Chain A
Amino acid sequence: MSFEELEHTADVLMRVRGADLAEIFADAGRAMFHVMYGPCEDRGIERQFSLEAENLESLLIDYLSELLFITDVENIVFCSFDVDIRGTRLSAVLRGEPFDPARHSAGSLVKGVSYFGLEIVKEEEGYVVEIIFDI
């Protein structure tokens, strides 16, 4: 896992690191599902979508918001996040399993993804971003 939870009083603040943008986006999705559901297995359910935005930060918000929408409406817990990024266009293939209250109820419901302090920063060895999930 290349995400870590930082201190935040009210919500959940995650720092995500990745070698490239695709990894950052994949791990941001993984981090959000980790917050919500805990352990998850690939049991053959697959979903995919594409998005385009005016900048990378908005693309990240749109992508995570789309994941929230899918999990809420379809009751799917994702554990595999395959993301392809070209410019400010994204296509994602997600794999996971049906929500099972017995195994997936230990987490916190994410209500939304905040723009607060959101900046995808390029560093020497890759990218880093800090994201606040409203709980």
Chain B
Amino acid sequence: MLEGINMIGDLEWEVPIGYVPDMRVPGRFFLSRALAETLEEGAVRQLANVATLPGIVKHSLAMPDIHWGYGFPIGGVAAFDMTEGVISPGGVGFDINCGVRLIATPLTEADLAGKKRELIERLFSAVPTGVGAKSALRVSNKDLTAVMVDGARWAVERGFGTGADLVRCEAEGAMPGADPDAVSAKARQRGVPQIGTLGAGNHFLEVQVAREIVDPEAAKVFGIAEGQVCFMVHCGSRGLGHQVATDHLRTLESALAGYRIHLPDRQLACAPIDSPEGRAYYGGMVCAANYAWANRQVIMHEAKKVFAELFGIDYDAMRLIYDVAHNVAKFERHDVDGASTEVCVHRKGATRAFGPGAPGIPREYAGVGQPVIIPGSMGTSSFLLHGTTTAMQKTWGSTCHGAGRVLSRSKAKKEVRGKELREHLAGEGILVRAHSDSALAEEAPEVYKPSREVVRVVHEAGLSNIVVRLEPLGVIKG
């Protein structure tokens, strides 16, 4: 284990003030001893760097999928005081509101027999994927403004889904505070042709089966039963979000000196929340986040059409369980020293995990807590969990977002042959469709921490509790 870090509980670790100069608060992260072997010094240093930012409240946090990124570590969570604190694109990432949604179909695994390959091929045709993918949708610049303000609601109003979908999205599929003027012409140019496209890298659409119901009561509330076929959509705000992040990071980097903020890492460039640059970033980030919700809504709609046509089932019989964001900064009310206080929570590669009764979660789920969706990695289990009161107390209502990589892409390509991987997964009944085998190799299951162990940590640490374990049946990759 790394020097200078203290274990303060079975699954909880502290990075004390002084680990790097100028820390204002300690760092805290959640990890099992088994996963501690995978911990990188660079990730801990990044966690400590976040603790130097002005106005950070209580702790710089990281979830058990912590790994080395840039700016914040991936898996990083931090809340900032609304007056003294800052907002930082480095705490959100380039793919604003990269997130995941889970949809339950009325089918069972047996219903897919003999049709699985056709299903995966049809999904691959219906959803543009990969580098250079363009949408079949024609969207005007005016439409794009509506997308950035209305998010998933824009998609529903255009016929991509139903109103019932909206309440089952975090922030009901559109955060308030969008400022289309904070989105550059370049970002718009990138956004117009990409609505309804999956993207590349670790983005995917995966068909799954609910293999194990761990919490029957919560599963019933979420509307999912053992053996039910589901699908999961993982993607973000595409080029529009990347450009918003690039543009504002540049502006904030130039503005740093004016605010007399000294940083250990320029990727943590930031500005006071209530400053022209801070407000502009927030307004632009919200636009990108809303674009991402519209994007996932359109993709879900196209996938549902494929299921409906191929299996002769009703479109409305497929139910969105929930949609969660991974990379976003939000103004939320949390308990700070006994008082309900508004703070700016950054989650970079982390999932909101609000507990029972917390504001902002669908009424139908209020007694259980919000659904939390943790994807696996093609060959490994994904999980549906629920948020908890403990998460509200310890992590600003946050939990992990995935398994977390342990192997670099270059090593993955050296050690894994994409074709063999595809054949191996097919042998296990998992059909994978991608534009290239080398892209598959980079995302092989073995390049990630075991999703079961990561999820076990958040479950046992009480940050979110497992409801259902899902196994992959087929995947389309970007």
Contacts and interface: CB of A to CB of B under 8 A. Distances in A.
Interface of A: 5, 7-12, 36-37, 54, 58, 61-62, 65, 68-69, 72-73, 75, 99, 101, 104-109, 111-118, 132, 134-135
Interface in B52-85: 67-71, 74
A134 B132 contact: no
Counting chain B residues whose Cβ lies within 8 A of the other chain, the interface size class is 35 or more
11 contacts: A54-B254, A61-B250, A69-B189, A99-B132, A111-B245, A112-B245, A115-B265, A115-B267, A117-B265, A134-B93, A134-B95
B70 A135 contact: no
A114 B70 contact: yes
Given A108-B442, A115-B249, A5 B410 contact: yes
Interface stretch (B109-117, B146-154, B296-304, B432-440): B432-440
Given A106-B438, A114-B71, 17 more contacts: A7-B408, A8-B68, A9-B407, A11-B70, A69-B243, A99-B131, A104-B131, A105-B435, A107-B439, A108-B439, A108-B442, A114-B70, A115-B249, A115-B253, A115-B267, A118-B266, A135-B409
B190 A73 contact: yes
B405 A10 contact: yes
B419 interface: no
Interface string B262-282: 000111010000000000000
Contacts of B478: 109
Interface of B: 40, 67-71, 74, 93-95, 130-132, 186, 189-190, 199-201, 239, 242-243, 245-246, 249-250, 253-254, 265-267, 269, 405-411, 435-436, 438-439, 442, 478
B250 A10 contact: no
B74 A10 contact: yes
Given A9-B405, A105-B436, A111 B94 contact: yes
A7 B413 CA distance: 12
Contacts, number: 111
Contacts of A101: 130, 132, 435
A114 B71 CA distance: 9
B88 to A, nearest CB: 12
B407 to A, nearest CB: 7
Contacts of A68: 242, 246
A122 B131 CA distance: 35
B132 A112 contact: no
Contacts of B411: 7
Nearest to B129: A105
A108 B439 CA distance: 7
A9 B436 contact: no
A10 B405 CA distance: 6
Given A5-B410, A101-B435, A112 B246 contact: yes
Given A62-B250, A115-B269, A135-B201, A69 B438 contact: no
Contacts of B408: 7-9
Contact of A134 (B67, B70, B405): B70
A111 B442 contact: no
B67 A116 contact: no
Contacts of B245: 111-112
B269 to A, nearest CB: 7
Nearest to B133: A101
Contacts of A12: 409-410
Contacts of A116: 70-71, 265-267
A9 B131 contact: no
A9 B410 CA distance: 9
Nearest to A13: B408
Contact of A10 (B67, B131, B242, B249): B67
A108 B189 contact: no
A112 B94 contact: yes
B410 A7 contact: yes
Contacts of B94: 111-112, 134
A118 B249 CA distance: 14
A73 B189 contact: yes
Contacts of B239: 72-73
A75 B132 CA distance: 7
B242 A112 contact: yes
A54 B265 CA distance: 18
A68 B67 CA distance: 25
B69 A11 contact: yes
Contacts of B186: 69, 73
B70 A132 contact: yes
A99 B133 CA distance: 10
Nearest to B93: A134
Contact of B406 (A8, A9, A106, A113): A9
